[in-house]
Amino acid sequence: MQNRADLHRHLDGSLRESTAMELATELNISVPKNLYFKPHMDLGTALSHFEFTLSLLQNTKNIARVGKEICEDANADGVELLEIRFGPHLHQREGLRLEEIIDAALEGVDGKAGLILCGLYGDDPKLIKSFVEIAKDRLGVVGLDLAGGPDSSQEFKLEDYSEAFSLAAEYGMGRTVHASEGRSPEEIITAVTKLQAQRIGHGVTLLENPKALELVLENDIVIEACPTSNLQCGVIPSFQEHPIGKWLDLGVKACLNTDNTFFSQVSSSSEHQNALSINGMDEQKLSKAIENGLAAGFTRR
Ligand SMILES: [Zn+2]
């Protein structure tokens, strides 16, 4: 299979299993019975899996190590353009400063991957803005993301992050947003029009809203598809029914990504191989998806 990009891979969901076990033993942290995602969980259950891996990643040494190993694993799997994302504020249980955490990740990836900083839906927009300020002179940080999902208890809405994303644009950082992961396609519209998103993570419900589709096509928005993750998080009925085949037919710049190699037990090559079983996919469209991914990496001006 030709070399590929993986633009959507979470650091805390993509540890090597052997490393996770080693760190758990070293830190005396018990290993949960159900480590892997299973089909048709909900997004909330999926997000709870991160509790274990995050507990292993509360010092700079482990963050750097995992960053480095993810680059090695991706490279060995034929990924020539890699972006790794993580929420630095999730690694502060032992009192690390955000700068130290981001620098540890940068040291680990050592220029072999771009780093994307993730806020989470519901976070204080001021915090997300502080990520951007830290990233201003750290050019290895190539982008900003909003991950997780909205719920009714959250004070802040998607549009409340517009200032942080606008600052990211000003500093030449790329913008991507987890949107419409089985939720309203309106999120895509908000992400593009209010947060200046150039890429959308998941975007599964895109075709339910003609306006969202028009906006995506007009602005060459790239959709970071993660079909296995979508099946496991219960946002598509079956792997075969992932909409990427339809998207590519319509000219949407979609690419294939892993999301979480450890939890989902996938690799970039397995995800691309399996994508051929999705309705409407064929070798030609797979090549197009690969081309789209390779053309969509974030670079700092
Ligand atoms: Zn994700």
| pLDDT higher than threshold 80 for residue 287 | yes
Alpha carbon of 146 to ligand 1 centroid (Å): 9
Q: How far apart are CA 107 and CA 66, in angstroms?
A: 11
Please state the separation of Cα 210 from the chain's center in Å.
Answer: 25
Which residues does the annotation mark as catalytic?
181
C-alpha 107 – ligand 1 centre gap (Å):
22
CA distance 20 to 150: 29
CA nearest to 84, candidates 102, 62, 96: 102
Q: How many CB atoms lie within 10 A of CB 170?
A: 11
Which amino acid appears at position 52 of this protein?
Answer: F
152 CA from centroid of ligand 1 (Å): 20
Among residues 22, 84, 103, which one has the least CA distance to residue 56?
22
Query: So what's the pLDDT on residue 275?
Result: 98
Are 236 and 204 in contact, with CB atoms under 8 Å apart?
yes
Distance 18 CA to ligand 1 centre (A): 22
Neighbours of 148 (CB within 10 A): 19
- For 87-119, the pLDDT digits (tens) are 999 999 999 999 999 999 999 999 999 999 999
Give 1's pLDDT tier (boundaries 50, 70, 90).
confident
H/E element, 53: helix 50-56
Q: Average pLDDT, stretch 1-13?
A: 96
Tokens for 168?
């990211």
Q: Where along the chain do its domains lie?
A: 4-294
Instruction: Give residue 23's pLDDT band: very low, low, confident or very high (50, 70, 90).
Output: very high
User: Which residue in 183, 82, 92 sits closest to 130, CA to CA?
Assistant: 92
Q: How many Å lie between the centroid of ligand 1 and the Cα of residue 200?
A: 10
Expressed in angstroms and rounded, the spacing between residue 128 Cα and the centre of ligand 1 is: 17
Is 142 in a helix, a strand, or coil?
Answer: strand
Task: State in Å: Cα 203 to ligand 1 middle.
Answer: 11
Q: How far apart are the first and last CA of the chain?
A: 31
Asked whether the whole model's pTM tops 0.95, one would answer: yes
What's the CATH superfamily of 4-294? Metal-dependent hydrolases (3.20.20.140)
- In angstroms, the CA 49 to CA 149 distance is 15
C-alpha of residue 225 to centroid of ligand 1, in Å = 10
* Dihedral angle of Cα 291, 294, 299, 301, to the nearest 10 degrees: -40
**Six-digit token string for 173:** 């950082």
The tokens of 220 are what? 């060459």
Residue 34: what pLDDT? Answer: 87
